[in-house]
Each structure stands twice: as C-alpha cells, then as structure tokens.
Amino acid sequence: MEKISNLIATIEKFLSILLIAGITLVLFIHVIFRYILNDPIYWASEASIFMMAWATFLGGSLGLKYKMQSSFTFFINRLTAAQRRVLSIITHILMLGFLGLLIYVSFEWVLSLSGSSSSSLRIPMWIPYSCVPVGLTFAFIHLLNHLVNLFKGQEEEEAVV
C-alpha cells in the first residue's frame, strides 16, 4: 500500500508542477496579448481555472499524504497514547467513509456531464471536472495507507480531527 501511495504522490507532485507552470505561462502570455498587443486570448482564463481546479484537488490529496491539514490537538494531546491511537483509527475510518461517499457522488456527477462542453475551449466538461473524483480517489488511497500503517503500528498515533 505504501508503494502505491508513494507512486501516486510522485505523480501528483509532477502534475502539480506542470499545472502551476502552465497557469503561470498562460496568464503571462494572456497579459502580454491583452495589454500590449490589445488582442486578448479568449480561452486563457478558462484554461487557468481548469488547471487551478486540478492543482487544488491534487494538492489537497498531497496534503493528506503528508498530514498537512489543520487539526485541533488541544484535547487529543491530553489523551494517553492508546486512546490517541483508537481515536486516530476511528477518525481515519470516518474520513474514509466520507471520502468513499464523495467519490461515488463525484463519479456520478462527472458521468452525467457527457453532452456538455466548455464555452471557450470547447472541450468536454468531464475532462476538467474529473479533477474531483481523481483527487478524492488519490486522497482515499493516501488515507487508507495511513490507516493500514496505524494498524501495523508503523504510524504515529495522531488523530486527524
């Protein structure tokens, strides 16, 4: 499970770098065309929004992989190590259940977009909106890896609350 999670994290990092670089390049060229050449690129803002959505969901998944999400530890730090481990397992199971539900709903949503296309780029809307189920699926895998490591005793007993 660890190898799969690490492979996905590597892919997410690479894609995030490409997406952020793409956003920067598209917006830079758009500004030059719009304000210097007085000929705006009509699809630049839409492409930037789609790339930002992908970067956001991939980054959110990476945040779960590296436990970078915010958490409230005031009460958790007062628990014993065994209590923290139990609470961590419970919260991981709850989050996996919630992510599973979101993944199911997001796949249903993306599959319902079969006939629509974007206004400027004219690409099928399932392409940009696929960032939701893909990012959530990656997050699910990272979280499942943390849970497996918790059961093996290889993970710190940190509850994600």
Collapsing DSSP to helix, strand or coil, 39 comes out as coil
Residues 6+ apart with CB under 8 A from 121: 43, 46, 47, 50
Q: Is residue 128 classed exposed, middle or buried when 0-12, 13-18 and 19+ CB atoms within 10 A define those classes?
A: buried
Instruction: Give the residue with greater pLDDT, 3 vs 77.
Output: 3
Q: What's the one-letter identity of residue 137?
A: T
Over the stretch 77-114, which tens digit does the pLDDT of each residue have?
A: 899 989 999 999 999 999 999 999 999 999 999 999 87
Whether pLDDT at 118 is above 50: yes
Q: How many CB atoms lie within 10 A of CB 78?
A: 9
Q: What is the pTM of this model?
A: 0.89
Residue percentage of the chain with pLDDT more than 90: 82
Whether pLDDT at 47 is above 70: yes
Whether pLDDT at 49 is above 70: yes
Nearest to 55 by CA among 132, 112, 142: 132
Mean predicted lDDT score pLDDT of the chain:
92
Nearest to 11 by CA among 135, 149, 155: 135
Q: Is residue 38 classed exposed, middle or buried when 0-12, 13-18 and 19+ CB atoms within 10 A define those classes?
A: exposed
